[in-house]
Chains A and B, each alone.
Chain A
Amino acid sequence: MSYIFDFKNHKAIDPTALMSNDKMAWLNVIQEKAWTNFTNMELPARKIEHWKYNQMAFLTSNTFRLATPLSAKVIAEVSGEISSIQLPGAIHLTFVDGYLITDLNQQPTLDGLSITRYVDTTPEQQALVERISMPSTESRNMLMNLNSALANNGILIEVSKKTKIETPIYIRHFTSRQTTSTLASQNIVIHLNEFSDATLIEQFESTVQQENQLALQQTHVMLSDNSKLDHYRLNLEHESSKQISQVKTILSKNSSLNSFYLGSGSQLNRTDIDTIHSGENSECSITGIYLPAKKQTIDYHTNTEHQVPHCNSNEIFRGIIADEASATFNGKIHIFQDAQKSDARLNNKNLLLTNKAEINTKPELEIYADDVKCAHGATVAQLDNKAIYYLQTRGINRQQATKMLSVGFINELIEKINIKPIQEFLFTQLEDYMSHI
């Protein structure tokens, strides 16, 4: 059976049609809410502020079919294309077109870590998924509501109380080349219980030319009191890929989030990062690097909410924009009236390598408390000709000088990463990017 999405006529399949299995009836409450949100929203288009800088016309110039699971034979073929960072001892999970292809029974079991398909969840776990991933009525992203409505193939990751998972949980999302005009959907819910500590690495990849394929993905994170998550999201898609995704993290009392984003590849890569401080003394550090080239568009929309007092947030995003590429960084900080003594920082720097490269950077501050620290800044620069000349007078040619200055613009952000294989992988990615421009 194939499900057709016809965005032009503002129609898509009714998700209840996907719920043939009684075991999944519990998910209805999420799906119906998401579906109501979805149908009440306007299609993403330039006239809507939230989508102002994204070319979304492809949505209405095609119809989409929901991607179906690949056969074991095809999976065996594509598996070889999926790159892998060498992370000794890591728990590996691989999704192809939104479907988990890893046999969870074959995974090593670690005390305090459980990974469960939605279809296998217990009622307690179902309540947890509902609590963490229920779309809010204010959710501005129509396509993420669609993704929530299609959540059947989601997984729940739980880390027990007082557990430190020493090895990373490494999730690779791969978009294959199915027939044209497919839509893939994927959902992850991760819950760190009190005093637990884990590392989550998500990698997004596609390796061949895509024809009107769209990948939707959401990761919903709940950090209970005093827990700590290191979260990496590395986008490495083929330049023809389109991906719309969201990471929503809820931070409880004394919890801490340290996250890193890499945006590279993709014709369109749009990531909404919602970070909600709902417990006092929680803190987050969000670092991002984006490297669009050719005609690619990379867009990060961050929304950091300080709902309660005494929380710290620190966001640093830097981008290099080459060729005719464009990037958007929209960084919103929302400090609620009761959130006194909040400390929120936001910094975005951009380096444009050509006259046709485009950057749209917009800090958005909504501050309703009066005793807060809030610092924000954005810069856009081109390569410094004086610096290039200086390097040239030392025998370094213009191309290499451009490379050194560009790498120098962001390498301090990579140097701060404390997982060595990821750091090395990122330096390789950066080298690779620089060698093509």
Chain B
Amino acid sequence: MLKIDNLHAKVEDKSILNGLSLDIKPGEVHAIMGPNGSGKSTLGYTLSGREGYTPTDGSVLFNGNNLLDFDADERAKQGLFLAFQYPVEIPGVSNMEFLKASVDSIRAYQNKKALDAIQFMKLAREKCKAIDLNQNFLKRGVNEGFSGGEKKRNEIMQMMLLEPKLCILDETDSGLDIDALQVVADGVNACRNENRSFIVVTHYQRLLDYIVPDYVHVLSNGKIIKSGGKELALELEEKGYSWIDKL
């Protein structure tokens, strides 16, 4: 599904990723943990194609395609989804209009049948309900005036609508209380299947109680320095990030 080999990337003139390698197979959930500044968010931005996050070496194969050759929107069309740590507010563009444009564009690219307005509304309402998001949010500006928790639920709602192949969840647990975390995790877990893979980026182990990973990787200074099963997250929680400096 995704094969990252020796990825180097810089932001402005600062090198952030320094030879990151990761191999993800269909259906797998990989957690990436690491202290602040280790490059967790940069990985998501670089993979999704954000301007200013420049790969300088290495390669990324996504379903056999060289991911780094494509613009951000094309990566999304090929099935990559990034759930933002800080979703962007876009006043003036309604959530509904935005979601419809997004779904239309991705379905067209994937040669799926276009949804008419009624089918789309039905689907959007369904997904809102699943993630416990009031349908009124569909009429509001994209993320405009949403609380932190509402924004995160909106991200997961989009993920459900777009049915991506690979989902990168960037600190999806930040800013969520325990109930919201449960709802969001339920939403994510409902999307898990043998073909869909996840990269769950998190600072804390807590999220991984709800979204149980197959693998846990520890990121430090732009490289994966240790990988293991889900028990690695517990070990990390117990010993703290200072522990990895000694590795």
Q: Which of B97-120 contact A (CB under 8 A)?
A: 97-98, 101-102, 105-106, 109
B interface residues with partner A (beta carbon < 8 Å): 48-51, 71-73, 75-77, 81-82, 84, 87-88, 90-93, 97-98, 101-102, 105-106, 109, 141, 158, 162
In the bound complex, CA of A390 to CA of B90 (Å): 9
| Nearest A residue (CB) for B80 | A393
Chain B contacts of A405 at CB under 8 A? Answer: 90, 92-93
Is A385 an interface residue, CB under 8 A from the partner? yes
In the bound complex, what is the Cα–Cα distance between A405 and B93 (angstroms)? Answer: 7
Contact B73 A398 (CB under 8 A): yes
Set A385, A389, A396, A408: member contacting B92, Cβ < 8 A: A408
Q: Which residues on A sit within 8 Å (CB–CB) of B50?
A: 389
Q: Check if A171 is an interface residue, CB within 8 A of chain B.
A: no
Verify if A397 is at the interface (C-beta below 8 Å from B).
yes
A-B contact count (CB 8 A): 81
- Extra 8 A-B pairs, beta carbons < 8 Å, given A392-B76, A393-B84, A397-B73: A391-B90, A391-B98, A393-B73, A395-B102, A395-B106, A396-B105, A398-B73, A401-B73
A3: interface (CB < 8 Å): no
Residues of A near B93 (CB, < 8 A) are 404-405, 407-408
Q: B49 to chain A: which residues have CB within 8 Å?
A: 392-393
Are A397 and B71 in contact, with the CB atoms below 8 A? yes
Assuming the contacts A400-B105, A404-B93, A408-B92, asked whether A393 and B98 have C-beta atoms less than 8 A apart, the reply is no
Across chains A and B, which 5 residue pairs bring their CB atoms closest together, nearest first? A408-B92, A392-B72, A394-B102, A408-B93, A395-B76
| Chain B residues within an 8 Å CB radius of A394 | 73, 76, 98, 101-102, 105-106, 158, 162
Q: In residues 368-397 of chain A, which contact B (Cβ within 8 Å)?
A: 384-387, 389-397
Give the residues from 392 to 437 in chain A that come closer than 8 angstroms, CB to CB, to chain B: 392-398, 400-401, 404-405, 407-412
Q: Which residues of chain B come closer than 8 Å to A409, judged between CB atoms?
A: 92
A249 to chain B, nearest CB (A): 29
Closest beta carbon of chain A to B206's beta carbon, Å = 26
Cα–Cα, bound, A429→B180 (Å): 43
When chains A and B are docked, how far (Å) is the Cα of A386 from the Cα of B141? 16
Q: Mark A138-154, 1 if CB is under 8 A from B, else 0.
A: 00000000000000000
Known: A404-B93, A404-B98, A409-B92. A393 touches B105 (CB 8 A): no
Q: Are B109 and A393 in contact (CB under 8 A)?
A: no
Residues of B near A401 (CB, < 8 A) are 73
The CA-CA distance from A387 to B92 in the complex, in Å, is 12
Contacts A385-B51, A393-B48, A394-B162 given: A400-B92 contact, CB under 8 Å? no
Determine if A392 and B92 form an interchain contact, defined as CB atoms under 8 angstroms apart.
Answer: no
Give every chain B residue within 8 A of A398 (Cβ-Cβ). 71, 73
How far, in whole Å, are A389 and B44 apart by their CA atoms in the complex?
Answer: 13
Q: How far does the alpha carbon of A256 sit from the alpha carbon of B87 in the complex, in Å? A: 42
A-B contact pairs, 22 of them (CB 8 A): A389-B88, A391-B90, A391-B101, A392-B49, A392-B71, A393-B76, A394-B73, A394-B105, A395-B76, A395-B77, A396-B73, A396-B105, A397-B71, A397-B73, A398-B73, A404-B97, A405-B90, A405-B93, A408-B92, A408-B141, A409-B92, A411-B92
A387 to B84 CA separation, bound complex (whole angstroms): 12
Q: Specify which of B87, B88, B141 lies most central, judged by the most chain A CB atoms within 10 Å of its CB.
A: B88
The answer to whether A400 and B101 touch across the interface, beta carbons within 8 angstroms, is: yes
- Rounded to whole angstroms, the CA-CA distance of A394 and B81 in the bound complex is 7
User: What's the Cα separation between A385 and B53 when bound, in Å?
Assistant: 13
Chain A residues with CB below 8 A from B77, complex form = 395
Q: Using Cβ atoms and an 8 Å threshold, which residues of chain A touch B141?
A: 408
Q: Which of B71, B93, B98, B141 has the most CB of A within 10 A?
A: B93
Most buried by A among B75, B77, B101, B158: B101
Q: How far does the alpha carbon of A63 sit from the alpha carbon of B142 in the complex, in Å?
A: 54
CB distance from B96 to the nearest CB of A (A): 12
Which residues of the other chain, B, contact A391 by a CB distance below 8 angstroms? 73, 90, 98, 101-102
In the docked arrangement, what's the CA distance between A257 and B51, Å? 47
Q: Which residues of A contact B101 (CB under 8 A)?
A: 391, 394, 396, 400, 404
Q: How far is it, in angstroms, between the C-alpha of A29 and the C-alpha of B82 when the chains are bound? A: 72
From the candidates A384, A387, A393, name the one contacting B72 in the complex (CB within 8 A).
Answer: A393
